[in-house]
Amino acid sequence: MAVTQLFRLFICRSAARATLHAHRRYSKVCPALSERLRVFESLKEKQGNKSRVEATETPLSIRLTDGRKVKGTAGVTTPLFVAQSIRVKGALVSTVNGELWELGRPLEADCELQLLGFDTVEGRQAAWRTGACVLGGVLETVLGAEVCREGASELGLYCDHLLDNSALSLSDVEERCKQAAALKLPLSRLELNTEEVRELFQNSKLRLQLVEEQMNGPTITVYRCGDSIAVCNGPLLPHTGFLKVFKMLQLSSVTLANQTESSGLMRLLGAAFPGEKEKQEWEREQEEARRRDHRRIGTDQELFFFNDVSPGSCFFLPKGAHIYNTLTDFIKSEYRRRGFTEVVTPTLYSTALWERSGHWEHYSENMFTVTSEGSQTYALKPMNCPAHCLMFEQRVRSWRELPLRWADFGALHRNELSGALGGLTRVRRFCQDDAHIFCTPDQLEEEIVACLDFVRTVYQVFGFSFHCLLSTRPTPCLGEPEQWDNAEQQLERSLQQFGERWELNPGDGAFYGPKIDIQIKDAIGRQHQCATIQLDFQLPIRFDLQYVGPDGQLHRPVMIHRAVLGSLERMIAILAENFGGKWPLWLSPAQVMIIPVGGSSESYGKQVVQQFREAGFMADLNDDQGATLNKKIRSAQLAQYNYIFVVGDKESESGTVNVRSRGGKQLGRRPTEEVLTSLTQLRDTRSNLDEF
């Protein structure tokens, strides 16, 4: 009891000294910021202890990931205290029973605790969100800018701001951020509702507009960092002193939604690190990412390009189209094995369909529209689900027909902001391996497990490791609580039956139903979310979908949205970067290069090219008389041909080819028919091996 009180007293006094020290030394505050700070402190005082967990003096047991158990006190012991007591260095954030948890937040009950450092996605994001708060404070209180939005992405931290003199010195900003962070500025947290947010940001119209757009629930989290106020959507570090190094990357203009003229808003992008070692490792990662950039690979290998005549829409050249079609054929072959049937649906629909589905109310700003025949408005489809509901309702359905599994490769269009477009990862015209399953409630678990097995089969071919996230009921949501509870339990049982690693992702489900998101990890450790399996309670209700059950009565089907690759365009970008442009044989747009040398070998080389092309291979001939053999081989290797066949008089006479791999390994002279059989086997089994 006495120890608990002394610990609590020590923490409170330390926090008070740090706050006073930081507020005295940090900066001069303009009247607008002073008023904002006053409102923040007023709201903080008003909320009082409502959001705090009272120290109950109840002992608790903390289980660590290595199996060790640590004792603590509910409402007092924090993950930071645990990290310090067991001498774990580098912890930035934690998870408590799978939920992200700030290091300084007291634990509430017996739990499993995982401490996360900068080498994890969660730790890096916590560092960058905190770094964005520091940067926002420097911009506002030191440089006189008006910060309108701050946050973190996979690229780093950012601050969107207005500044009359935009000629910022990035190195100067870095140094000032370093100085500010060294003050170990405390971070005070508040949960505010819409009315309180409007009171807090009453003197900044643009800031308030962006914050309200960011709110996807009844409240939003704001932090005080020194003398500035930041809006953050995730846990931060205990104080700014955890950050020792800052790196500013670029300054660019920001395009806002529905913007008719320049707002003058600028984005400063940067990164923050616990130390120089982490910065150097990150810079190595960035260099490797630049080397693997799919836009560079697309240009070098002549796969695709973009043109301003159709912004955000990709032009796939023959080699790029080969990859595109090979991926599509792969998924179609799995469809045939798994009982899916393909449908073809229109691209353009009357707004009546989108109003019926509910998309017009929530998504119309992201849709391309056209007007014809006077006042009739149509929209290009951004998704396939409403059309599939129309197909289901075309006639009376029987329980004997279910499950219905309909797949659709139709072109989709979404009106993404021009500033958000980036290569193949964010486009306006794209295609998904989209499918919808209509089934009975009793069939749901089996269908979910089958969808998960589909995902595993495909990702194993690519060599991706993956894990699943069960995203549960958000606030607000549609549907009855017991309906959500039942659906979440069914998804959880399906994941347990599936047997792969999964985590709970509370509150991140779609408003119409829970979902399973699948995150993959590529060759350089980056994570991507591509596949998704979503339950939908609402569309079957909105379209009044029904089937006749065994009892002769009408019943409501369950609808599952699912995609494995997701967008084909984005998956091609991910695969290009994962393989570094070195495509496996089955997917490669440059599979075989035949190089004739001397005598009558050219005609034999053409014969070999024709033989492999007829077998479905991407085979080419280099008959350039002005290049040496070594230069031709090197050119083929740089062009990432999987195999290079050198043919001369001996090969012509014996019906063989001299084979070497892309990596330069010589596989020797082999009969052409034998090589063709071996490569056909490698291709058709979608093997990632080079040797045969």
Q: So which residues are the catalytic ones? A: 385, 414, 432, 434, 436, 515, 561
Among 599, 594, 612, smallest CA distance to 660 is for 594
The DSSP code for 443 is G
Q: Are 578 and 523 in contact (CB under 8 A)?
A: yes
Compute CA 36 distance to the chain's CA centroid, rounded to the nearest angstrom.
Answer: 34
Under DSSP, is residue 533 helix (H, G, I), strand (E, B) or coil? Answer: strand
Helix segments in 471-591, DSSP class H: 481-498, 538-542, 568-579
For residue 523, the one-letter residue type is A
The DSSP code for 255 is P
Under DSSP, is residue 35 helix (H, G, I), strand (E, B) or coil? Answer: helix
The beta strands (E) that lie in 450-606 are given as 465-471, 502-505, 515-521, 527-536, 547-548, 554-555, 558-567, 592-596
Report the distance separating Cα 125 and Cα 138, nearest Å: 20
Phi-psi region of 145 (alpha: psi -120 to 50; beta: other; left: phi over 0): beta
Q: Kindly report the three-state secondary structure assignment for every residue of 382-410.
A: CCCHHHHHHHHCCCCEEHHHCCEEEEECC
Compute CA 106 distance to the chain's CA centroid, rounded to the nearest angstrom.
Answer: 30
Report the distance separating Cα 231 and Cα 224, nearest Å: 9
Under DSSP, is residue 209 helix (H, G, I), strand (E, B) or coil? Answer: helix
Residue with tokens 């353009």: 348
Q: What is the largest CA-CA distance in the chain?
A: 96
Q: Are 384 and 434 in contact (CB under 8 A)?
A: yes
Helix segments in 345-469, DSSP class H: 351-357, 359-363, 385-392, 444-462
Report the distance separating Cα 293 and Cα 573, nearest Å: 8
Compute CA 359 distance to the chain's CA centroid, rounded to the nearest angstrom.
Answer: 23
- Alpha carbons within 13 A on the beta-carbon side of 180: 32
Helix axes 444-462, 481-498, angle to 10 degrees: 50
Question: Percentage helix, strand, coil, to 5, in the chain?
Answer: 40, 25, 35
Residue with tokens 């649906």: 345
Tell me how many degrees the CA angle 565-566-570 measures, rounded to the nearest 5: 90
Phi-psi region of 23 (alpha: psi -120 to 50; beta: other; left: phi over 0): alpha
